[in-house]
Structure 1
């Protein structure tokens, strides 16, 4: 084996890793920039391979090799800083629940499942619901076919909100717990819904539940992440301004370590139960190396974590996620210290992003309407 060729390949890989990391720092919302925020784990793995390769196969280094090695090391430190919070090496943001016989009534079990509109294996989700018995089921991309298939669970779920759509943004909410004044809102784009409702827990405490599924930045969907970012930040701002006890869940078409999701946490002061624990990579089912977390749940500091796990595939391109929270208001003050807080620039950028998102949303809504008219 020609070691010089191996070393040349290692340097190319190192340059690619450094380039992708730096590319993601560009202050642009275009999908071809924001897209590199998703595969941070994969970029980190490739970077470690390149770093080890440069150490093992490098001999007489010139200035160019040193500069490349320094750049690669810097990018690895940055990627590690983004990824490590979602491992057991980091401090937990949400405490483990103190489970007692009495506390069972204070628990809420939430299942989130992007079902994939074209997926016909509807019985798999029905069977999973019967097995896991969540208190709340949130489905994304669900149309009339899925609504009909899920009708069999309705005897166990007397409360529901149904938004069957065939544009990949249908949404259904099924609940064993009472929903109070549920509303379907179209915050940014006219045909992309979100569900906002109050929820009465078993101990009569009332909390807010927000179900979101914004449009992703991609070559086949939105050219920019502006509308997605604006919708998430708009809800986060609303939660904080109204001092709500809230849970936000859904397929956010974003990763937890993106600059938008981290800003959302600072604006809303909601907690992420994955921090200090492990990844819950839900997409893409078919490509194990190319997986990241698109399906999320965030909550107020009065909730602790019983369990959070990825469930078996139901034939979709997303795995379902099941999260069990426990209402422990006595933990609020302690956990508030773990909540990230917004700096003045976060508030300023949030306002700017929401305004930009509204403008972009009007544009996208017109394009969607024109497309429907043409069809």
Structure 2
């Protein structure tokens, strides 16, 4: 038998002119493939660990922080899976093992984020009436306390003409700048602080029974009010900004979670239309935000419409939905958009809701089961707080 070599191709033939072709790897190629397999093994293992850790209900900041970058992990897993399919020798069981693990993690991450894409059914129906008397427009803006572009925010307010503005991280400097709004927004709640947790509310609509409370932590305020619409309807509104789990804030998420749970339990007991908004320092797709939605019965207008990532405004590759507005089933949605940057590390969120008589979202939302209720109870007991700590402004209304 004779042979002829053409680079990687070796042709063996006999005098009868019958021949067969075999592939011979060039010198060093086996080492390259082994190195590639090892690289994908390490990458897939890391991504799998980052996917699995949040399955735990442990409240340590470094575990709960992995709830945030699910979109980034999804994209990393998708890229890894595509490269594994293209570059690995799929005749080996090791390669298929990596592919299966990457695919399983990819599907799991997708389960959390797909509801915040347009391929998912809407949770809140679009408004189909033009009753201006039953509308409410809200801007939720974390201003970044050190940001000095107050005029940028004021310009957005003049353009969007919200009925209510809530600012987070606003200190006395920001209060001084925003007080010029009082000509158009005469109803206010003010709590200037220099610890990144100051809060202000400016409203065109009358606000009654306003209260500032420190529900869980002594330096983290929340605001509560009953708002009167031009239609005469009353709306209960809660403005929140709990601290995040992080190495520089709280070592665990228990304080944040407890505040969300007691608010959820409180609003679940009322028949008055409810809005909860603010920087919750939790992402829309986390297990704890889902728990809040299940316990409260409130809806998320982003579901089926998009992520509306409001943080971080300066890094497009590190963004997630950190600023929220949830509402009861009394409303439909007229408009929802992320506003342009005004110098903060957050984008402001603009939401326009319409109060509807038919409650056409009645069957939408998430339902709590026994495990959810038990988990919520543990969270409140851990911080020794109760839903009775939450103001119920409609209980004292004289309207």
TM-score where L is the length of structure 1: 0.92
- How far residue 107 of structure 1 moved from its aligned partner, in angstroms, is 1.1
Conserved in 2, the CA contact under 8 Å of 1:285 and 1:316? yes
Match of 2:189 among 161, 169, 182: 161
- How far residue 61 of structure 1 moved from its aligned partner, in angstroms, is 4.8
Corresponding position: 1:48 with 2:94: no
| Distance (Å, rounded) in 1 between the aligned partners of 2:345 and 2:36 | 36
Query: 3-state SS of the aligned residue for 2:223?
Result: strand
| Distance (Å, rounded) in 1 between the aligned partners of 2:154 and 2:90 | 62
Q: 1:91-240 counterparts in 2 under 5 A? A: 91-100=121-130, 103-240=131-268
Query: 3-state SS of the aligned residue for 2:361?
Result: helix
Conserved in 2, the CA contact under 8 Å of 1:7 and 1:57? no
Match of 1:296 in 2: 324
Match of 2:19 in 1: none
Match of 2:336 in 1: 308
Match of 2:363 in 1: 337
CA deviations over 1:60-89 (Å, ceiling 9, x no partner): 554443333222211111111100000111
* Higher fraction of helix: 1
Conserved in 1, the CA contact under 8 Å of 2:85 and 2:99? no
Question: Size of the alignment, in residue pairs?
Answer: 355
Cα separation, partners in 2 of 1:60 and 1:300, compared to 1, 3 Å = closer
Query: 3-state SS of the aligned residue for 2:180?
Result: helix
- How far residue 295 of structure 1 moved from its aligned partner, in angstroms, is 0.2
- How far residue 7 of structure 1 moved from its aligned partner, in angstroms, is 5.0
| Distance (Å, rounded) in 2 between the aligned partners of 1:99 and 1:279 | 25
Corresponding position: 1:28 with 2:54: no
| Distance (Å, rounded) in 2 between the aligned partners of 1:349 and 1:242 | 22
Cα separation, partners in 2 of 1:211 and 1:57, compared to 1, 3 Å = same
- How far residue 14 of structure 1 moved from its aligned partner, in angstroms, is 2.0
Match of 1:283 in 2: 311
Conserved in 2, the CA contact under 8 Å of 1:215 and 1:227? yes
| Distance (Å, rounded) in 2 between the aligned partners of 1:131 and 1:10 | 50
| Distance (Å, rounded) in 2 between the aligned partners of 1:27 and 1:85 | 22
Match of 2:43 in 1: 13
Match of 1:355 among 381, 388, 399: 381
| Distance (Å, rounded) in 1 between the aligned partners of 2:80 and 2:164 | 45
| Distance (Å, rounded) in 1 between the aligned partners of 2:382 and 2:67 | 21
Conserved in 2, the CA contact under 8 Å of 1:13 and 1:47? no
| Distance (Å, rounded) in 2 between the aligned partners of 1:48 and 1:242 | 44
Corresponding position: 1:262 with 2:290: yes
| Distance (Å, rounded) in 2 between the aligned partners of 1:69 and 1:11 | 10
Aligned-residue CA RMSD (Å): 1.5
Structure 1: 5+ residue runs without aligned partners?
Answer: 360-375
| Distance (Å, rounded) in 2 between the aligned partners of 1:74 and 1:248 | 35
Match of 1:59 among 79, 89, 105: 89
| Distance (Å, rounded) in 2 between the aligned partners of 1:173 and 1:188 | 20
- How far residue 12 of structure 1 moved from its aligned partner, in angstroms, is 2.8
TM-score where L is the length of structure 2: 0.86
